Amino acid sequence: MQNIHSPLQAQLVQWLVAPGAAVATGDVLVILEAMKMEHEIRASQAGRVGELYFRAGEAVTEGDVLGVLMPLTEDAPQLQAPAANTLAAPSSKDRADLQKLQDRLAFTHDAARPEAVAKRHALGLRTARENIADLCDPDSFVEYGALAVAAQSRRRSADDLMRNTPADGMVTGIGCVNGQRVVVMAYDFTVLAGTQGMRNHQKTDRMLGVALQNKLPVVLFAEGGGGRPGDVDVAIVAGLNLTTFASFARLNGRVPVVGVVAGRCFAGNAALLGCCDVIIATRDSNIGMGGPAMVEGGGLGVFKPEQIGPSGVQHGNGVIDILVDNEAQAVAAARHYLSCFQDAQAEWQAPPTEALRHVVPENRVRVYDTRTAMQGIADVDSLLHLRTGFGLGIHTALARIAGRPVGLMANNPLHLGGAIDADAADKAARFMQLCNAHGLPIVSLVDTPGFMVGPDIEAQAQVRHVSRMFVAAAHLRVPLLSVVLRKGYGLGAMAMTGGGFHQTLSTVAWPTGEFGGMGLEGAVRLGYRKELEALPEGPEREALFEQLLAQQYDNGSAINMAATLEIDAVIDPADTREWLVAGLVAGRVRPADGTLAIDTW
């Protein structure tokens, strides 16, 4: 015989068995109620119900014997006990609450709005959910706030809002990109033109808090028209006390933030986009701080959306970092970009190292493309160029070397002979800030005659712009490794090497390297002006100039620079990757000693 005990103080609600009834292990014998919650008491073994000591409605205390369970006789049929710890799996239709949820969630899916999806596809564009599915690793996206609708219940029915304003026009959640957790936020242009509603502001703020607290990268699909005036459920006048923009900006320098745009992105959407570390946009995109309505309202004229901030303009002026043909390429670029801030990869492929020996022409005045050097140094298919339409004097890119993520920058002899102008300096300084904030070592490939000079360039605030490179480099907490490919002259070369050749973890040169306090031709003309002017113009003066230039070139050769310890070594170009890997292994990323802001410009 086995007693049936009460596990808690409660009221007996109902006996589900009668005396004499046979029960199997796990059968429910009695229901107790405590604190408005019902508790099932089950049979711990098969048996036959004996005497019952309490009736329905009576109070019991913990440990009270409610009744007894008698063993079955040998001739009684043996009852089959259910498998331990198993639950039946009825279909969802067996539970009304679950079916209600599934019916409601169905309205958040693209399939519930075929006309809106078809209109989107007719424009050659994808839905917000299609972009998210492409960005995130399969089955990894977990959505936050899916059941939200626009705050317009005072002017629209609940059914209308459910059907036509799913997720309040913004899909938010956490997914994995290349195996790493990432916060994803995508304005849905099929819902109220991707405008910023009050509830999608709330969703945004929630996700930004999650990103900041858990140090998660953020990807923002920013297409949309800015603030939405039609949300009448919230008592506001101007709505300028929102926290979204401050919260989004607070991510700067703390986690990688990627902005992606296809189509139109105006006003508040563009303001968030401008806070991103990198902006990836399609060729059909338009980005502006005000759309046509705002421009016209300001009395500035009537324009079509396509006339405001087209991609050609925004790529050339540096707003767009990566320009692509379509959303599929944009998502691929976002995945590539995020991969550059993830851990070292165990598997990688090196390019043919011997090809680096032929990058710099033997003719010292012949131009060449330093991007071939970047390609020859980076792991195969790892190079991702940034801001290619702006600051043409310096190339910047993210890449991997032997699986390790790095930032690469290189002077561009094809533009101003490699001289650094204001735009190139801005581009390089911000790139150093980007790498510094997110802990990427920097490799600098140097081939510059120095900073650009002259009356026209000084009218562009050259003094302030180029000095940004020195200030940015002075605050680096990441290793900086420099390779002088050919020209290393003056202040420009110093700026490319962190402020001076000994400010780097290592400064090496290829055999083609040549050095001087300024361009050698200019140094000869200035330093030997009297000697040259003492000879008449013509072959004799030209011969003296060439003789003095040869002497300067020999004195400033890479080998002589290494012999006087002004640089660390002269290396075979084919050994560049090996040299850099040694530096990357030895170099240390120091902890941040405060907020490491990245200029939006």
Tens digit of pLDDT for each residue in 426-435? Answer: 999 999 999 9
C-alpha 316/C-alpha 559 separation (Å) is 40
User: Based on the domain organization, do 317 and 440 belong to the same domain?
Assistant: no
On the 0-12 / 13-18 / 19+ scale of CB atoms within 10 A, 51 is exposed
Contacts of 37 (CB under 8 A, 6+ apart): none
pLDDT for the residue 3: 95
Exposure b/e, 287-314, CB count within 10 A at least 16 = b: bbebbbebbeeeeeeeeebeebbbbeeb
pLDDT for the residue 78: 53
User: Based on the domain organization, do 115 and 211 belong to the same domain?
Assistant: yes
pLDDT at residue 244 greater than cutoff 70: yes
User: Based on the domain organization, do 358 and 292 belong to the same domain?
Assistant: no
Tens digit of pLDDT for each residue in 511-553? Answer: 999 999 877 787 788 888 888 888 888 898 889 988 888 888 8
Among candidate residues 311, 339, 367, the one where a domain is terminated: 339
Residue 460 inside a domain? The answer is: yes
DSSP 8-class letter at 307: G
Residue 547 inside a domain? The answer is: no
Mean pLDDT of the chain: 93
pLDDT for the residue 49: 95
pLDDT for the residue 540: 87
Instruction: Judge whether 39 and 13 are in contact, CB under 8 Å.
Output: no
User: Based on the domain organization, do 358 and 325 belong to the same domain?
Assistant: no
pLDDT for the residue 85: 44
C-alpha 409/C-alpha 344 separation (Å) is 20
Tens digit of pLDDT for each residue in 295-328? Answer: 888 899 999 999 999 999 999 999 999 999 999 9
Q: What percent of the chain has pLDDT over 70?
A: 97
Residue 526 inside a domain? The answer is: no
pLDDT at residue 581 greater than cutoff 70: yes
- Domain CATH code at residue 51: 2.40.50.100
User: Based on the domain organization, do 389 and 437 belong to the same domain?
Assistant: yes
SS3 category, 96? helix
Residue 518 inside a domain? The answer is: no
User: Based on the domain organization, do 431 and 580 belong to the same domain?
Assistant: yes
Q: Cα–Cα distances in Å, from 309 out to 94, 180, 315, 433?
A: 54, 33, 10, 26
pLDDT for the residue 265: 97
Range of the domain at 298: 98-339
User: Based on the domain organization, do 383 and 493 belong to the same domain?
Assistant: yes
Instruction: Judge whether 250 and 287 are in contact, CB under 8 Å.
Output: no
Tokens found for residue 212: 């900041």
Total number of domains in the chain? 3
Residue 335 inside a domain? The answer is: yes
User: Based on the domain organization, do 260 and 120 belong to the same domain?
Assistant: yes
Q: What percent of the chain has pLDDT over 90?
A: 82
The amino acid at 391: G
Strand stretches in 116-252, DSSP E = 142-144, 170-177, 180-187, 218-221
User: Based on the domain organization, do 8 and 136 belong to the same domain?
Assistant: no
Backbone Cα Rg of the chain: 35
Contacts of 399 (CB under 8 A, 6+ apart): 340, 374, 377, 378, 379, 382, 383, 384, 405, 406, 407, 408
pLDDT at residue 87 greater than cutoff 70: no
Residue 314 inside a domain? The answer is: yes
Instruction: Judge whether 49 and 19 are in contact, CB under 8 Å.
Output: yes
C-alpha 11/C-alpha 40 separation (Å) is 12
pLDDT for the residue 239: 77
- Domain CATH code at residue 119: 3.90.226.10
Smallest CA-to-CA distance from 102 within 91, 114, 86, 116 is with 91
pLDDT at residue 90 greater than cutoff 70: no
End-to-end Cα, the chain, rounded Å:
82
User: Based on the domain organization, do 188 and 230 belong to the same domain?
Assistant: yes
Tokens found for residue 173: 């959640």
Exposure b/e, 106-127, CB count within 10 A at least 16 = b: ebbebeebeebbeebeeeebbb
Q: Quick check: pTM over 0.85?
A: yes
Mean pLDDT of 406-421: 97
Neighbour count for residue 175 (Cβ, 10 Å): 21
Residue 398 inside a domain? The answer is: yes
Tens digit of pLDDT for each residue in 102-150? Answer: 999 999 999 999 999 999 999 999 999 999 999 999 999 999 999 999 9
Residue 525 inside a domain? The answer is: no
Among candidate residues 339, 369, 396, the one where a domain is terminated: 339
Contacts of 194 (CB under 8 A, 6+ apart): 169, 187, 188, 223, 224, 225, 269
C-alpha 244/C-alpha 271 separation (Å) is 11
C-alpha 195/C-alpha 170 separation (Å) is 9
Among candidate residues 19, 54, 70, the one where a domain is terminated: 70
User: Based on the domain organization, do 488 and 398 belong to the same domain?
Assistant: yes
Helices then strands, counting H and E runs in the chain, come out as 20, 25
pLDDT at residue 76 greater than cutoff 70: no
pLDDT class of 256 with cuts at 50, 70, 90: very high
pLDDT for the residue 559: 96
pLDDT at residue 462 greater than cutoff 90: yes
User: Based on the domain organization, do 362 and 317 belong to the same domain?
Assistant: no
